Amino acid sequence: MRIAMPLQYAGDLKQATSLVAELEKVGLDRAWVAEAYGFDSPTTMGYLAARTERVEIGAAILPLYTRTPTLIAQTAAGLDYVSDGRAVLGLGASGPQVIEGWHGVPYTRPLGRTREIVDICRKVWAREDRLTHEGRNYTLPLPPDQGTGLGKPLKIINHPVRSQIPIYLASLGPKNVQLTAEIAEGWLPFLFVPEKANDIWGEALAEGRAKRSTELGPLEISAGGMLAIGEGEETKKLLDLARPLIALYVGGMGAKETNFYAQLATRYGYGAEADHIQELYLAGKKDEAAAAVPQELLELTNLVGPASYVRERIAAYREAGVTELNLTPVADDPVQLIEQVRSWV
């Protein structure tokens, strides 16, 4: 299994980048850079490219609605160039709260947009012909009845380092996961519980894989959570560090009726708890919402406990088909911790 680490969008990105530079020396394979409504992801990704030599650099995620499809392709190609072929493009729809609230763009037809953007990106990178595309969401060039009529098909000026940059999709719902298994190189699930993954997503993954091109190879899966080694009461205190993040997503990333993370928690069997977390969070009671996150959900979505237990969790992720552990190390010496886990996988 590969080992990756996410860079949190609310953290100190320069400090996190320095840590990635140290971690690549002990076997970190990939760093994922998030984007929400803080700093943009590509700026940090370019900085990472300059500070590292081997580690792959992924966007996790670039929201679909915030850039044109061709700009997404240009950004990935540019990062691939400055990193000497280490770019990975992670895409996702995000949700109405961020897309409509922060970007002022209607949150419409996420499935169709995803498929078209992936298709356009691959056309841009292949550079075989001048770019044309006719779809429900995007038409290139823009037709005369929607513009001046002066637009012409173009090719990207630069020659991309690679004609196919890996694309990972962040998805949770059945249709999105099915699409991911059909068209993407990899999948970025969130709040992944390995023991329940097949029950939740098995059918969708199978349907998508049945339509998958052999040229894409097997679907890669990047999942994980907090990584920490501790005993007894220390384990509980470490897991408590994950409460605010889960409360934010289950409670605050969306309206009461439209929250994909709360819907996932419900599918896991925590429906009543998810409703309660939402009520508290949307009422501004964030600390109470964090306290309401079920202990079992914390344990199942993270790798925290004695070393023997963490090794059992790694085995569970492997059994669930995870090919890359996406870990947030919490320790006085995170480099030593990642080096230790590297020896286990």
User: What are the residue ranges of helices labelled H in the chain?
Assistant: 13-23, 41-51, 69-82, 96-101, 110-126, 174-183, 197-210, 233-240, 243-247, 260-267, 271-282, 286-291, 295-300, 307-319, 334-344
pLDDT digits (tens, 9 = 90+) for 287-296: 999 999 999 9
Distances (CA, A) of 13 to 18, 41, 98, 246, 276: 9, 10, 21, 21, 33
pLDDT digits (tens, 9 = 90+) for 68-125: 999 999 999 999 999 999 999 999 999 888 999 999 999 999 999 999 999 999 999 9
Q: What is the per-residue pLDDT for 11?
A: 82
Contact 235, 335 (CB under 8 A): no
On whether the 2-227+304-344 domain is CATH 2.40.160.20, my answer is no
Does the pLDDT of residue 10 top 90, yes or no?
A: no
Domain limits, CATH 3.20.20.30, in the chain: 2-227+304-344
C-alpha closest to that of 114 among 172, 154, 57, 58: 172
Q: What is the per-residue pLDDT for 110?
A: 96
pTM of the model: 0.96
- Quote the mean pLDDT of the chain: 96
Q: Is 280 exposed, middle or buried (0-12, 13-18, 19+ CB in 10 A)?
A: buried
Peptide bond into 165 cis (omega under 30): no
Contact 165, 146 (CB under 8 A): no
pLDDT digits (tens, 9 = 90+) for 221-275: 999 999 999 999 999 999 999 999 999 999 998 778 889 999 999 999 999 999 9
Q: What is the per-residue pLDDT for 255?
A: 78
Residue-wise DSSP of 76-127 = HHHHHHHTTS-EEEEEE---HHHHHHTS------HHHHHHHHHHHHHHHHH-
Is the alpha carbon torsion for 303, 27, 23, 72 positive or negative?
Answer: negative
Contact 9, 36 (CB under 8 A): yes
Does the pLDDT of residue 63 top 90, yes or no?
A: yes
